[in-house]
Each structure stands twice: as C-alpha cells, then as structure tokens.
C-alpha cells in the first residue's frame, strides 16, 4: 500500500502553485561522535544560536532525541537524524523492510524511502533527507600524498560515488516531479567548483584540477549546491567546513582544508548560506566557544513552495515502552475525517484506536499500551469510507528498555551467523559486531553489520563481512547503537 501511495504522489500534478513561498533555515551539522569530544553543551548552544527550522545531524551517536529535547525541537527522525520545528512523517513504513544491506549513505532506510516528509504548513509538505558518506580513503589527502588524477577518481568511484548514486536514485523521482527537496550531509568529498584552475592556484598546498564525481553526479541529476548558488566565487567565499581542528584549535600537520558539508536542493530557491565555526576565523559568520566539532556547520536559508500532503501517519516514540503510552499523529489530505487503528503485525483484528475524527479537531491521539503486549504492531490510517490510506510500523519493548540478542542456529567455520534481536533503539546505524569472547576493546571487532534501524528482527551476519574466517573457539555477537560503542546485548557462541 505504501508503494502505491508513493506512486500516487508522483502522479499528482504539481506544475502550478499560486501559493507564496515559505522561508526556511536549514542547518547541516556533523557534531563529531556524539558531541562529546569537546563540549556537548556547545553543540546545543550552536544549534540554538543558528535557530534553524530543520537540522540534519551527522554522527549524533544515538543522541538525536536528546539533542532535540535540549535544543527545543519538538520533532525528530532518529533513522535520518533530523530535528524539526515542524511535524515529520516517514515516507515508508517507518522501518527497513528490505533484506539487502543498502549503501552506507542510506543505511537504515529502504532505497525508495530515503527522504522524510516535513509538514511545514497545515496540509503542505516538503521532502527532507540527511546523510553521511564514507570518509576514507579521503580524496584530497590522496592528492596531497601524490596520487595521480586517475587514482583519485578511481578511489571516488569505488567509495563515495556509489553511495551518492543511491541517494540520487532515491530522491530524483521526487525532484523530477517538482517536489521541493533538501538533502543535508557530510559528503566527505569536495565540490568540483572549488577545485577549478583558479581555485587550485590559490591553494596553499600543491594540487591539480579535479572534477570531483559526487558533486558532478548531483548536479547532473538536477540538484543545486545551495552554498555555491549564493556564494559563486570559491576564492572570496571558500566556505570551508573541514576542519575546525581536532580538537579545536589543533590542526594536524599536513592537513587538507575543504568544503565537504552541503545542503543539496531541488525545486527550492537558495537565498543565503553561511558557515558556523570557531571564533576568530573570518569566514565564519556565527560561532560559539568552544566550537564543539571537527567540522564546521552550514546554515542555509531557502524559499520553498510546499506541495499538498499525502496521507501520512506516524507513531511516537519509537520504540514504545510497555506500560507507557504513545502518540499517533496524522496528516490528512484535504482535511478529511480519518480513523487510526492499531493492529498486531500481520493480523486483521483491531485492538484500539480512534475513528471518524476531523484533523482540525484532533491531528494526534495518545493511546495506552495497556492490553498490548511486547511485539510488533502496525498503525493504520483510513479515510471516512474505511479505506486504508497510510500505514506505519512500531514496536512495544520491555519497560526497562532491555534489548536481547541470540543466535538462532549453530555456527560452523565459514558459515553465516544467524541472529535475532529485540528491543534495539531503532537508530540509523545500530549495528552488530562479532568479537572474540570477553574481548575488552570494543574496537577489536572481527566484522560488523548494520541492523537496518529495526527494533526487532533477524539478521544473518554474512561470513563475507568477517575480516577472517572464524576458527574453532569461543566468540560473542554484540548489539551496539548508532555507530557508537555502547553495548546493548551480547550473544555468546562457539565455533566447533
């Protein structure tokens, strides 16, 4: 049903909009491993100082909801790491449904549900996505270290370009139809517009012209580099976001400096774009002290004309704790009356909900988990005639938030590792690592795989993702959250 709704949206006529545009401020901010490296408080101060309407976070390490609460954002998408002053809805079912591991750039998402919908005015939405591309090997460092142009381009083709293409493939159908679309992120690749002959000649270190493929691919697909659109000269406005120091003000010897944090847009008018960072740097328009990240942030002002909302439903929070309550929030096309009903996943008997409600009277309803045991559920939105028009998934987990991880079959040398987990937080980059038994260093994993941002599910850990075949001995799988190293559950196993 969701894919049918997605197709239906793409078929909507969007050519003529008499509405006036709405001005938005958008922040792209890599906060550096949870913001703990220098000052988490400064992360919050920086966001409050910028006062954006929407924030795309990179490297929040499981702190998306905490940052939203502290910075004063009522809405957050923990799979895409988005904070918003406006209601956020998923463009899919609210969790990964595919079995294939997607590229890192869209980890935790289905390839056709890369963006979220943000309802920036009643009944009107824009599409918003957020990403982080692989960092290493880093292209400008290859240039610094004497690699040839062919070697530099080959590295981009092997690393970041496929990740960029996954984003383009997921977002271009919306852009082509006229949907206002914003993509923030740390792309770990410069723009070709910053590496022209004139710009390269002005660089402090030896370099050569590089038509960086990620930026070329986005432009070829019809996306706009919003910073360069309003600051066209890289000599007068370099906009460098890497690096503010690691930690500030320390800059390693031989470091490269570039603009690698972007807000790519489609069907949106860029108005202004500035860099936030450390005090005393003349290129930075806003600063807090100490600056909390190794990246600078990019604050972009945009004019958008939102499109009519499709039917949307979401459940908050995700996951839901047993014994607590949860909110169902809807966006109803044309303000029509709706029903919202809870079902056990895969079943057809309604358990609880609300019916025949006008969204101007009640666009949200809070329900209790009383009578709803732990497990997987669907929230279904129906129109006044009882037809399903939207669906989302959620899970009820133990009240103490305890996660579980277990093997579902014996592991032999060279075979995959079948696992089942429950109660994961559902963050974008929740992951499972394989370790030797009682390995004290969380860095010493033997291989890792992402959970797909699911709360409950099965994961067959591919033997190919291990750095070497497991020899006979004792091991353990560990469930960790959001590319961080906090262990949530452990499953010991032996290889005979």
**What angle, 0 to 180 degrees and rounded to 10, lies between the N-to-C axes of helices 149-158 and 160-176?**
60
Pairing of strands 388-397, 320-321: parallel
Domain span holding position 205: 2-307
Q: How far is CA 120 from the centre of its chain?
A: 19
Exposed (0-12), middle (13-18) or buried (19+): which is 132, by Cβ within 10 Å? buried
Q: Are residues 352 and 297 in the same domain?
A: no
Q: Are residues 217 and 346 in the same domain?
A: no
Which among 397, 414, 447 is the end of a domain? Answer: 397
| Residues listed for the chain | 496
Q: Are residues 352 and 210 in the same domain?
A: no
How does residue 427 score in pLDDT terms, banded at 50, 70 and 90? very high
Instruction: Give the list of residues 6+ apart from residue 121 with CB closer than 8 angstroms, or none.
Output: 22, 306
Average pLDDT rounded to a whole number, residues 72-82: 96
Q: How far is CA 276 from the centre of its chain?
A: 21
Q: Are residues 270 and 377 in the same domain?
A: no
pLDDT digits (tens, 9 = 90+) for 159-189: 999 999 999 999 999 999 999 999 999 999 9
Asked whether the predicted pLDDT for residue 52 surpasses 70, the reply is yes
Q: Are residues 412 and 472 in the same domain?
A: yes
Q: Please state, in angstroms and rounded to a whole number, the distance separating the CA atoms of residues 11 and 91.
A: 16
Instruction: Give the list of residues 6+ apart from residue 200 with CB closer than 8 angstroms, or none.
Output: 207, 208, 209
Q: Please state, in angstroms and rounded to a whole number, the distance separating the CA atoms of residues 55 and 67.
A: 11
Average pLDDT rounded to a whole number, residues 314-327: 94
260, 266 contact by CB (below 8 A): no
Q: Please state, in angstroms and rounded to a whole number, the distance separating the CA atoms of residues 436 and 294.
A: 33
Per-residue b or e along 158-177, where b marks 16 or more CB atoms closer than 10 Å to that residue's CB: ebbbebbbbbbebbbebbeb
Which among 397, 412, 437 is the end of a domain? Answer: 397
Instruction: Give the pLDDT score at 14.
Output: 42
CATH for 17? 3.60.10.10
Q: Are residues 267 and 348 in the same domain?
A: no
Joined together, the tokens standing for residue 218 give: 């986005």
Domains identified in the chain, total number: 3
pLDDT digits (tens, 9 = 90+) for 373-390: 999 999 999 998 999 999
Average pLDDT rounded to a whole number, residues 37-47: 97
CATH for 442? 2.60.40.2840
Total-model pTM: 0.93
Instruction: Give the pLDDT score at 93.
Output: 93
pLDDT digits (tens, 9 = 90+) for 457-484: 999 999 988 999 999 999 999 999 999 9
Q: Are residues 360 and 480 in the same domain?
A: no
Average pLDDT rounded to a whole number, residues 259-287: 97
Q: Please state, in angstroms and rounded to a whole number, the distance separating the CA atoms of residues 211 and 214.
A: 9
Q: Are residues 319 and 299 in the same domain?
A: no
Which among 343, 378, 397 is the end of a domain? Answer: 397
Torsion of CA 137, 193, 229, 296, to 10 degrees: 40
Joined together, the tokens standing for residue 47 give: 């966001």
How does residue 201 score in pLDDT terms, banded at 50, 70 and 90? very high
58, 67 contact by CB (below 8 A): no
Q: Please state, in angstroms and rounded to a whole number, the distance separating the CA atoms of residues 402 and 456.
A: 12
Q: Please state, in angstroms and rounded to a whole number, the distance separating the CA atoms of residues 27 and 376.
A: 34
What's the 3-state SS for the chain?
CHHHHHHHHHCCCCCCCCCCCEEEEEEEEECCHHHCCCCHHHHHHHHHHHCCCEEEEECCCCCHHHHHHHHCCCEEECCCCEEECCCEEECCCCCCCCCCCCCHHHCCCCCCCCCEEEEEECCEEEEEEEEECCCCCCHHHHHHCCCCHHHHHHHHHHCHHHHHHHHHHHHHHHHHCCCCEEEEEECCCCCHHHCCHHHHHCCCCCCCCCCCHHHHHHHHCCCEEHHHHHCCCCCCCCCCCECCCCCCCCCCCCCCCECCEEEEEECCEEEEEEEEECCCCCCEEEECCCCCCCECEEEEEEEECCEECCCEEEEECCCEECCCEEEEEEECHHHCCEEEEEEECCCCCEEEEEEEECCCCCCEEEEECCCCCCEEEEEEEEECCCCEEEEEEEEEECCCCCCEEEECCCCCCCCCEEEEEECCCCCCCCEEEEEECCCCCCCCCCEEEECCCCCCEEEEECHHHECCCCCCEEEEEEEECCCCCCEEEEEEEEEC
Instruction: Give the pLDDT score at 307.
Output: 96
Asked whether the predicted pLDDT for residue 2 surpasses 80, the reply is no
Instruction: Give the pLDDT score at 22.
Output: 97
Query: How many C-beta neighbours within 10 Å does residue 222 have?
Result: 14
CATH for 332? 2.60.40.1930
Q: Are residues 342 and 214 in the same domain?
A: no
Q: Are residues 300 and 318 in the same domain?
A: no
Q: Are residues 386 and 419 in the same domain?
A: no
How does residue 103 score in pLDDT terms, banded at 50, 70 and 90? very high
Instruction: Give the pLDDT score at 19.
Output: 67
Instruction: Give the pLDDT score at 204.
Output: 86
Q: Are residues 221 and 367 in the same domain?
A: no
Asked whether the predicted pLDDT for residue 5 surpasses 50, the reply is no
Torsion of CA 256, 259, 261, 265, to 10 degrees: -160
């Amino acid at each position: 049903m969701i894919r049918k709704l997605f197709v239906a949206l793409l078929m909507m006529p969007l050519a003529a909009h008499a509405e006036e545009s709405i001005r938005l401020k958008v922040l792209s901010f890599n906060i550096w491993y949870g913001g703990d490296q220098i000052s988490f408080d400064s992360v919050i101060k920086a966001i409050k100082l910028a006062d954006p309407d929407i924030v795309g976070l990179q490297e929040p390490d499981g702190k998306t909801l905490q940052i939203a609460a502290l910075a004063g954002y009522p809405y957050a998408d923990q799979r895409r790491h988005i904070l918003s002053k406006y209601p956020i809805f998923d463009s899919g079912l609210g969790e990964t449904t595919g079995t294939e591991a997607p590229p890192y750039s869209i980890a935790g998402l289905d390839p056709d549900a890369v963006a979220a919908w943000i309802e920036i005015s009643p009944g009107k939405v824009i599409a918003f996505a957020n990403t982080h591309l692989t960092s290493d090997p880093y292209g400008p460092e290859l240039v610094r270290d004497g690699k040839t142009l062919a070697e530099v381009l080959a590295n981009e083709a092997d690393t970041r370009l496929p990740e960029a293409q996954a984003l383009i493939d997921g977002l271009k159908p919306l852009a082509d139809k006229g949907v206002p679309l914003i993509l923030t992120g740390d792309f770990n690749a410069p723009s070709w517009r910053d590496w022209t002959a004139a710009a390269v000649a002005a660089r402090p270190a030896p370099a050569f012209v590089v038509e960086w493929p990620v930026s070329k691919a986005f432009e070829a697909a019809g996306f706009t580099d919003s910073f360069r659109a309003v600051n066209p000269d890289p000599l007068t406005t370099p906009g460098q976001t890497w690096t503010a120091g690691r930690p500030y003000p320390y800059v390693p010897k031989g470091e490269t400096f570039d603009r690698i944090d972007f807000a790519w847009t489609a069907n949106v008018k860029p108005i202004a774009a500035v860099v936030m960072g450390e005090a005393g740097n003349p290129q930075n328009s806003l600063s807090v002290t100490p600056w909390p990240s190794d990246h600078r942030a990019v604050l972009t002002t945009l004019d958008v004309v939102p499109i009519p909302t499709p039917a949307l439903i979401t459940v908050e929070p995700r996951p839901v704790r047993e014994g607590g309550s949860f909110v169902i929030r809807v966006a109803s096309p044309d303000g029509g009356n709706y029903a919202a009903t809870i079902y056990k996943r895969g079943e057809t008997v309604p358990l609880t909900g609300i019916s025949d409600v006008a969204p101007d009277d009640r666009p949200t309803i809070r329900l209790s988990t009383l009578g709803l045991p732990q497990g997987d559920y669907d929230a279904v939105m129906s129109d006044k005639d009882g037809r399903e028009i939207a669906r989302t998934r959620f899970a009820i987990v133990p009240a103490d938030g305890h996660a579980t991880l277990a093997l579902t079959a014996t592991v032999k040398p060279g075979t995959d590792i079948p696992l089942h987990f429950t109660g994961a937080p559902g963050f974008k980059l929740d992951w499972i690592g394989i370790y030797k038994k009682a390995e004290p260093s969380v860095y010493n994993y033997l291989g890792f795989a992402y959970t797909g941002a699911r709360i409950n599910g099965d994961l067959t850990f591919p033997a190919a993702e291990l750095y070497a075949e497991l020899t006979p001995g004792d091991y353990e799988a560990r469930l960790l959250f959001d590319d961080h190293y906090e262990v949530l559950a452990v499953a010991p196993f032996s290889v005979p």
